[in-house]
A and B are shown apart, each in its own frame.
Chain A
Amino acid sequence: MKVLVCVKRVPAPGARINITADGLAVDTAYLAFTTSPHEECAVEEAVQLIERHGGESTVLTLGPAEADEQLRYAASIGVNKAVLLPIDSAEWDPQRTAAAITSAIQGIEAADGPFDVILFGNESADAGNFQVGVRVAYALARPIVNGIKGIEIDGDSLKARRESDAGVEVYALRMPAVLGVKEGINLPRYPTLKGRLGSKKIEVGQVVPQGVLGGQQMVSLVQSAEQVSQTIMLGNGPEAAPAVVDLLEELGILK
């Protein structure tokens, strides 16, 4: 089978997200970059599906040239092919992103045949637009379900499981199908040294992204109101235990 997984390069901030002076971007001067966690799991799932059912996996991203790093990371844990849709900025609006990814997929499929499964993250970690995967699936006339935490392939169909407030919902989809994956579907592996070396050698295909501006345009980033709190120190080490238990009683937690 053939599996495609779409990932986005995002900064990996620590204790606080700082914004550049012009208010237009996250200040990444001192930050590393990563793949959104949901998508990291989607990559792992793609590799596992191929390990189980045979075939070939491809990773695709639309992003700056540096997003090569995220493609090679996916390759280092076992994805076979990589495609970059290079853009001049950190991101495009969601409609434009979806249009570009759709047309790239159509091009790849015209040349190499259809993907049985296309995996997205449930939402990107930074923008969280909750829509790129759905738009692509609709444009390709394929079924999509989001929030997936389990995939079981059975012949030409698959069962996809997701959690809701009420419990677990199961969907049965005919392939070709598209799924939005959530972290927790699996435990992503770490790359081996051999995997890392191999990923340096793979050829990253390039597709010129096609898409017109969408109706949602970012103007600036705004820091959310910081919660300031005067921390009350209860003490140091195990000697603080009585003070903690006093607090538990005071808060009514220990009755």
Chain B
Amino acid sequence: MTVLVVIEHDRGALGPASLEALAAARTIDPVVHALTLGSAADGFATDLAAHGATVVHQVHHDLLADFGPEAWGEAVAQAVRALQPDSVLACGTDRGNEVMAQAAARLDLPFVANVVSVSAADVWDITRVRWGGSLLEACTLSAATKLLTVSHHAFEAGESPAAGATSSLSVELDPSLARTVVVQRVERAAGVTLATAPVVVGGGRAVGSAEAFAPLEELAALLGGVVGCSRAVTNNGWRNHTDQVGQTGTRIAPDLYMACGISGAIQHWVGAMASKKILAINTDPEANMVTKADYAVIGDLHKVVPAITAEIRRRRGV
């Protein structure tokens, strides 16, 4: 038994990044074991087998009924002590990184976050993400058990049928770990979010004020999309941080991103680069956003955006 993959889920909904972690694990060792936490995850066994899990270790405990970083981290640490894998992989999501950091602290082991490639020898040569994806780091990892998380989109999930036998693993979780378990939860209202919108109309510093976003709102609504913005905008208090695209904001992946008056700083770009097509509207033809975009209009966004809206209304008669 060598590589163990911690499966992420939210109350029984399988995190898709877990299947990427399984794919990454198969590049390290053909024998892949999976670890699921909480009985809500029992139903994954078949799916995990289809994606290469030889054995699925299921952990059941009241403290794992909902997410809790300390309870989950302690459960992973105990699984590592019991199963003695050579390495442990989880998803490079907020939860995955948090749980692995918890497990690493408890096991007093190093932990490498957001890995994109691994060369496994005695000491591992690893490439990982820095600056939210703007830069990579080559590093070495020496440890009795290697703990890492897999950067989202670095490995492609794919089927690779394996036995998928299930085994029940018991852990002893101290009741005090309940101190960091979710006590209340408010589900998100259904609807288009910045992360899932098919069209994002983004505004930068050049928009100039909160009120001046109205024409961008109007255009976004016509296209069935939402408005996004740069950090210069949120720092000025013109829009809420929930609208910020970038390294410390939201990563978007729309069919079209219209970036209006945004210079395209690297920290903004990493949040926008997964867009299928990018159209930049900027007065500066040399702006990073313009040179990296698929399409550009050179001009004042305050004139160009209303003109686009007017042209759509003219053609559609709305």
A contacts, CB < 8 Å to B: 13-17, 19, 26, 37-38, 93-95, 122-123, 125-131, 134-135, 137-139, 143-147, 164-174, 180, 182-184, 187-188, 214-224, 227, 229, 231-245, 247-248, 251-254
* Neighbour of B293 across the interface among A123, A146, A231, A241, CB < 8 A: A231
Complex interface: stretch among B163-171, B210-218, B241-249:
B241-249
A4 → chain B, closest Cβ, in Å? 18
A56 and B312 CA atoms in complex are apart in Å by 57
Contacts A128-B130, A144-B69: A233 and B256 contacting too (C-beta < 8 A)?
A: no
A244 and B280 CA atoms in complex are apart in Å by 11
| A183–B241 touching, CB < 8 Å | yes
A220 → chain B, closest Cβ, in Å? 5
| B182–A171 touching, CB < 8 Å | yes
| B185–A166 touching, CB < 8 Å | yes
Interface residues of B in 261-279 (CB under 8 A from A): 263-267, 273, 277, 279
A-B contact pairs, 6 of them (CB 8 A): A125-B132, A224-B135, A227-B273, A233-B296, A235-B297, A241-B308
**Beyond A167-B186, A218-B139, A241-B304, 13 extra complex contacts between A and B, CB < 8 Å:** A15-B265, A16-B288, A125-B247, A134-B105, A144-B69, A166-B188, A216-B110, A219-B139, A220-B138, A224-B133, A227-B292, A231-B291, A245-B312
B contacts, CB < 8 Å to A: 10-11, 13, 67, 69-70, 73, 94-95, 97-98, 100-102, 104-106, 109-114, 125, 127, 129-143, 149, 179-188, 198-199, 223, 231, 234-235, 237, 240-242, 244, 247-249, 255-256, 263-267, 273, 277, 279-280, 288, 290-300, 303-304, 306-308, 310-312, 315-316
A182 → chain B, closest Cβ, in Å? 8
A202 → chain B, closest Cβ, in Å? 25
| A143–B112 touching, CB < 8 Å | no
Name B73's closest neighbour in chain A (CB-CB): A134
Contacts A167-B185, A187-B235: A222 and B139 contacting too (C-beta < 8 A)?
A: no
Secondary structure call for the B interface:
mixed
A93 and B198 CA atoms in complex are apart in Å by 40
Give the 5 A-B CB pairs with smallest separation, nearest first.
A184-B241, A215-B110, A238-B307, A138-B105, A130-B97
| B247 surroundings in chain A (CB, below 8 A) | 125
Contacts A146-B69, A232-B296: A245 and B266 contacting too (C-beta < 8 A)?
A: no
| B231 surroundings in chain A (CB, below 8 A) | 37
| B10–A166 touching, CB < 8 Å | yes
| A131–B113 touching, CB < 8 Å | yes
| A138 surroundings in chain B (CB, below 8 A) | 102, 105-106
Secondary structure call for the A interface:
mixed
| B315 surroundings in chain A (CB, below 8 A) | 245
| A127 surroundings in chain B (CB, below 8 A) | 130, 137
| B265–A14 touching, CB < 8 Å | yes
| A183–B248 touching, CB < 8 Å | yes
| A254–B312 touching, CB < 8 Å | yes
| B296–A237 touching, CB < 8 Å | no
| A232–B134 touching, CB < 8 Å | no
A226 → chain B, closest Cβ, in Å? 9
| B114 surroundings in chain A (CB, below 8 A) | 128, 130
B289 → chain A, closest Cβ, in Å? 9
B96 → chain A, closest Cβ, in Å? 9
| B199–A253 touching, CB < 8 Å | yes
| B308 surroundings in chain A (CB, below 8 A) | 241, 244-245
A219 and B128 CA atoms in complex are apart in Å by 11
| B142 surroundings in chain A (CB, below 8 A) | 215
B130 → chain A, closest Cβ, in Å? 6
B312 → chain A, closest Cβ, in Å? 6
| B138–A128 touching, CB < 8 Å | no
Contacts A125-B248, A146-B98, A221-B130: A17 and B266 contacting too (C-beta < 8 A)?
A: yes
